[in-house]
Structure 1
């Protein structure tokens, strides 16, 4: 069996300084080559393994030198079949014009190695203004290989309709180029795995029939890997959100009238008491939320072969004041305060009834009776509420905000092109939040029940994973209406269990 029988090759080519190596890093999920804002950074064609099947089949990606003087290159390649052309290429160009020679090597690589060409163009310029495209299309036609045009430098993810219009503009411009089989968006900085699946399907369709079965197996392996990553990401976020939902911080009861009055003053905003156990509980709960967000985001980055520091400032700002206070009415405190309130009234009644007690004496007597009554009332309230202690947790509104933020974090990580380097938290595109809110709407009753019950952490996590899976699938389908969003294995398993 020859190498070609079990290997497919893609050649990534473009005009110089369009972003080939940056995109190659994103597609491969690892750092290769050198990336900098300069022409002719890549001097040689380098082959990298992109997908492997258990049977030893392989899809490779060639990162090639960029085309420079495309018009001159087209003329030189036309001469390559005669002795003078060979002499100019292998001797003169190789030693006197290294960049031009590298461009020729890129083209030879396409002709000799590639099954399909991935031709990268900059969407930052109008197709009519990109004068290098026409001669380079002529060069690619010379190789006889099918071409898929990829639009790079699209900027931050925009509205689907805007992106579709940009694609159509390039398709119209390249309509006469019969070697072009598809035009797809593939920004090296902000692409999504759903778009990569569309690319693999386009590659399969561009191949001769006898090579499509091999590509189908390779695509199947890639898809299974991405869906496994998706499932793990959903489970990671669900487990984290469940821990947040069940997080509680115990609030010690005030042991004296002075401590009780301090808490009342703090609650009314009359003073700030750094030693207030409620404030300490709030700070501890915020610290746990911060740790959870950072930890789950770091797990997402590792899952997607990215590096960088996770941030939690956004979610902390959104939910940081939405605490759920469940306070036990302490019998000691209730006795003191209850006695103060009821004592005056009871004491006055005692004075009148006896005719001889002073107001002060009646107040003391009434205070004792009021305290006893308050102790009984506190015991009853705590018994009905089932509270053994006072605690602080998160309100349902805060948990809904945490779920929304988790979906936005997933989208941000899933769109982060490796060519950008280390992960950096940035503001999500404006349309993402509206898409996520709409995708979350059907699960509102489920979430409301979860926040009310909070039966146990494992049950909450399992239910949240289903919510997140469906929400993220719907969000991706809305953002990429023309791309197939495959059903994750977890969804298939759940339906199979019914």
Structure 2
């Protein structure tokens, strides 16, 4: 868990010119004012720190926070600093001084005389005194050519002698990878002539993915002086282990939820089923009107309600695991996911497992009941948001009525369960790409290419899914199979979405 350095002053001081701790490395977030340093700090730390407001010089003092702690006590600190204000003026003053950094440290009166000028001094002083690497933010919301402050601020950072990694913030949602790559290349071209810059990476405070943080940790290791790299190796390994453990936990909770859904079988009253069938025959012949829900419809409603509860609970657990939970956030996420699916698709019913066409008609009646609002499931969230392409009619067709020696049971057919697996993975991607910048999870676009990537990866594992559903009555075995499958698919999709991070993700299992 991240901790605030200011609340624990007895701990060793961070690395710096005035007292370097050999077990501590420090990163300083620095940028022009109002670019989003504190917002990004919140995302990297996974909790709310500082003050976020759309105004200049909101952060007035440099604050340090624990970002990673290794098992051996090694620590990686993250400093949030005031933004550069009048950086052009500061660079000019430092050029005119015989000892630029000495002049900088002697300037104390500007705090009262010129707040913007003092903020620039504070930011630069922090880089000089505390940091091993400077993380310099730029905004993709403006063109590189329009950001006139970049050149003087690069000059200021060059005086510190530290390596600089540039982070491209405010990229927008992950819905257009080609556009984001084009923006990244524009900024790389703009910054390639500046000596301190060692790398330019995308890291949007609102829509970054945790795998991009692993790429950043790897680059930090590369740009450090050789003597400091072994410490960063241990810290990077600890950070990677923490994130992969969270991935494994996420896959476990989704797998357990899916296994419970797959194992659910609700009894259907045999006598009531026969009476319902006779009433449907009479209705079809125009002899009588059937206004009473059939046993299949009643069981179907109960099954769908249980599904709704499972999906909502697992979504809440997923948000909580990623420090993004809040009132109503699960409902917002499910509504967003529903918009990413093609609701015109429909599943074909499984006639071999259905008790004749009349039962299929009863299931269609359930679909009409749901579509008309007769079954309240959070504004149609189940039909549209969770089963996705199934839609209302698909929800009904996804039900199987199975007869056995102890009576009839209603359950989900495998094609519906497959769709639930795809929906679970898309939910995970939405959470994994959400930063803490706005606090708890907030609605953003769900890219359509996520679903196609998931579907492709699942199609290659058709036999594994069938094996999982084949032992659905054993929830422990099904959970284990699904957890392994979900973890592999998630890693494959994340590597496809973020190729630079492919080496940080678990490799696929060898075929047995």
The two structures have a TM-score, normalised by structure 2, of 0.78
Provide the residue aligned with 2:7 in structure 1.
none
**Unaligned regions of 5+ residues in structure 1, if any?**
330-383
User: Is 1:306 aligned to residue 324 of structure 2?
Assistant: yes
Cα RMSD over matched residues? 3.1
The 3 A distance-change label for structure 1 pair 190 and 424 is same
| 8 Å contact from structure 1 (residues 327, 389) kept in 2 | no
Please state how far the C-alpha of 1:454 moved relative to its aligned partner: 2.7
| 8 Å contact from structure 2 (residues 28, 126) kept in 1 | yes
The 3 A distance-change label for structure 1 pair 6 and 428 is same
Q: What CA distance in whole angstroms lies between the structure 1 residues aligned with 2:92 and 2:347?
A: 69
Provide the residue aligned with 1:377 in structure 2.
none
Please state how far the C-alpha of 1:55 moved relative to its aligned partner: 2.1
Provide the residue aligned with 1:33 in structure 2.
50
Provide the residue aligned with 2:385 in structure 1.
none
Q: What CA distance in whole angstroms lies between the structure 2 residues aligned with 1:88 and 1:266?
A: 93
| 8 Å contact from structure 1 (residues 322, 394) kept in 2 | no
Between the two proteins, the alignment pairs up a number of residues equal to: 439
Q: Identify the match of residue 179 of structure 1 among 181, 191, 196.
A: 196
Provide the residue aligned with 2:180 in structure 1.
163
Cα deviation, 1:321-342, whole Å, max 9, x if unaligned, reads 988796789xxxxxxxxxxxxx
| 8 Å contact from structure 1 (residues 204, 212) kept in 2 | yes
Q: Please say which of residues 249-258 and 61-70 is displaced more in the overlay.
A: 249-258
User: Is 1:246 aligned to residue 263 of structure 2?
Assistant: yes
- Matching of residues 364-375 of structure 1 within 5 Å: none
Q: What CA distance in whole angstroms lies between the structure 1 residues aligned with 2:442 and 2:222?
A: 36
The 3 A distance-change label for structure 1 pair 419 and 322 is farther
The 3 A distance-change label for structure 1 pair 258 and 49 is closer
| 8 Å contact from structure 2 (residues 172, 207) kept in 1 | yes
Q: What CA distance in whole angstroms lies between the structure 1 residues aligned with 2:244 and 2:485?
A: 16
Q: Please say which of residues 165-174 and 305-314 is displaced more in the overlay.
A: 305-314
Cα deviation, 1:106-130, whole Å, max 9, x if unaligned, reads 1100011110000000012221121
User: Is 1:445 aligned to residue 449 of structure 2?
Assistant: no
The secondary structure found in structure 2 opposite 1:471 is helix
| 8 Å contact from structure 1 (residues 79, 85) kept in 2 | no
Q: What CA distance in whole angstroms lies between the structure 2 residues aligned with 1:168 and 1:450?
A: 44
| 8 Å contact from structure 1 (residues 266, 273) kept in 2 | no
The 3 A distance-change label for structure 1 pair 267 and 150 is farther
The 3 A distance-change label for structure 1 pair 444 and 28 is same
The secondary structure found in structure 2 opposite 1:423 is coil
User: Is 1:203 aligned to residue 220 of structure 2?
Assistant: yes
The secondary structure found in structure 2 opposite 1:250 is strand
| 8 Å contact from structure 2 (residues 259, 479) kept in 1 | yes
| 8 Å contact from structure 1 (residues 171, 183) kept in 2 | yes
Provide the residue aligned with 1:462 in structure 2.
480
| 8 Å contact from structure 2 (residues 272, 295) kept in 1 | no
Q: Please say which of residues 136-145 and 267-276 is displaced more in the overlay.
A: 267-276
- Matching of residues 313-352 of structure 1 within 5 Å: none
Q: Greater helix share, 1 or 2?
A: 1
Provide the residue aligned with 1:347 in structure 2.
none
Q: What CA distance in whole angstroms lies between the structure 2 residues aligned with 1:448 and 1:124?
A: 46
Please state how far the C-alpha of 1:426 moved relative to its aligned partner: 4.5
The secondary structure found in structure 1 opposite 2:107 is helix
Provide the residue aligned with 1:291 in structure 2.
309
The two structures have a TM-score, normalised by structure 1, of 0.80
**Unaligned regions of 5+ residues in structure 2, if any?**
1-11, 13-18, 357-401
Provide the residue aligned with 1:76 in structure 2.
93
